């Protein structure tokens, strides 16, 4: 079976975390610090080093919580949100420069997010196709990848919203949790059958009735949160919508 990795444009870029571009990597025998260790810079009087990045300083200041008055109450929001709110109020009052600035900023952010969503969606399509080919190749060799996760059928791709969701377990650890939940459903179903059989011998007492209601509630919740594989692989099934709806399949 092929051992090729799934295509991933984002992972094939030259740079990345712990993966600098080739022209920036150290050459064999080359020191990473040819000038030696620099002397420590200390601030006057404090004895502590000041080596914070200006961008970090800027972001920290923009995210610093500030108090503003809202509906006659003081609320705490980030500084950047307070600035944006003030600019927005100016725009609503007719400040043309504020209106133009906000409109351009909004459109730029939306375009950037749309581009990111499209790139991730296209990558998800490639990964799903690669997973299908992987399963098809395994079947041609008489083997099964039933224990491989995520299963390609569990990838739900929405081309309108450019959303990618996973209907089932995404890893072996996650699958173990699903198995435990399905085994619990089977055990509860057995207890429910025992109570129903007991009812043939006469009306159930209050204790048995309460137990039956509790079991039914547990089965309902488990089926809602972790449905069986047959339900997961149903055409058009959406786990997120299923969990919100609370229906038992």
Enumerate the domain spans of the chain: 112-166, 172-245
Distances (CA, A) of 40 to 36, 48, 49, 54, 143: 12, 9, 7, 18, 61
- Separation between Cα atoms, residue 32 and residue 179, nearest integer Å: 50
Q: Is it the case that residue 13 has pLDDT exceeding 50?
A: no
Q: Is it the case that residue 135 has pLDDT exceeding 50?
A: yes
Q: Is it the case that residue 249 has pLDDT exceeding 70?
A: no
Residue-wise pLDDT tens digits, 167-217: 888 888 998 999 999 999 999 999 999 988 888 878 888 898 999 999 999
Mean pLDDT of 104-131: 94
Q: Say what the pLDDT of residue 99 is.
A: 96
Band (pLDDT 50/70/90 cuts) for residue 121 is very high
Q: How many residues does the chain have?
A: 249
For residues 133, 136, 137, 141, the Cα torsion angle rounded to the nearest 10 degrees is 170
Q: What is the mean pLDDT of the chain?
A: 82
């Amino acid at each position: 079976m092929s051992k090729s990795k799934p295509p991933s444009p984002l992972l094939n870029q030259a740079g990345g975390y712990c993966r600098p571009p080739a022209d920036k990597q150290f050459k064999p025998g080359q020191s990473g610090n040819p000038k030696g260790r620099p002397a420590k810079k200390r601030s006057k009087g404090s004895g502590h080093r000041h080596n914070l990045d200006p961008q970090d300083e800027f972001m920290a200041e923009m995210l610093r919580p500030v108090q503003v008055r809202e509906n006659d109450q003081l609320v705490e929001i980030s500084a950047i949100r307070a600035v944006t709110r003030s600019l927005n109020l100016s725009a609503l009052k007719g400040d043309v420069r504020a209106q133009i600035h906000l409109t351009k900023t909004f459109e730029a952010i939306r375009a950037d997010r749309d581009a990111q969503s499209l790139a991730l969606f296209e990558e998800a399509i490639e990964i799903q196709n690669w997973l299908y080919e992987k399963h098809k190749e395994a079947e041609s060799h008489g083997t099964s990848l039933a224990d491989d996760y995520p299963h390609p059928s569990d990838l739900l791709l929405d081309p309108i919203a450019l959303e990618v969701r996973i209907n089932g377990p995404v890893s072996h650890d996650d699958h173990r949790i699903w198995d435990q939940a399905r085994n619990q459903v089977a055990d509860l179903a057995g207890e429910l059958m025992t109570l129903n059989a007991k009812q043939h011998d006469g009306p159930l007492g209050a204790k048995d009735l309460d137990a039956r209601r509790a079991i039914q509630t547990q089965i309902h919740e488990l089926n809602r949160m972790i449905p069986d594989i047959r339900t997961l692989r149903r055409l058009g099934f959406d786990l997120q919508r299923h969990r919100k709806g609370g229906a038992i399949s």
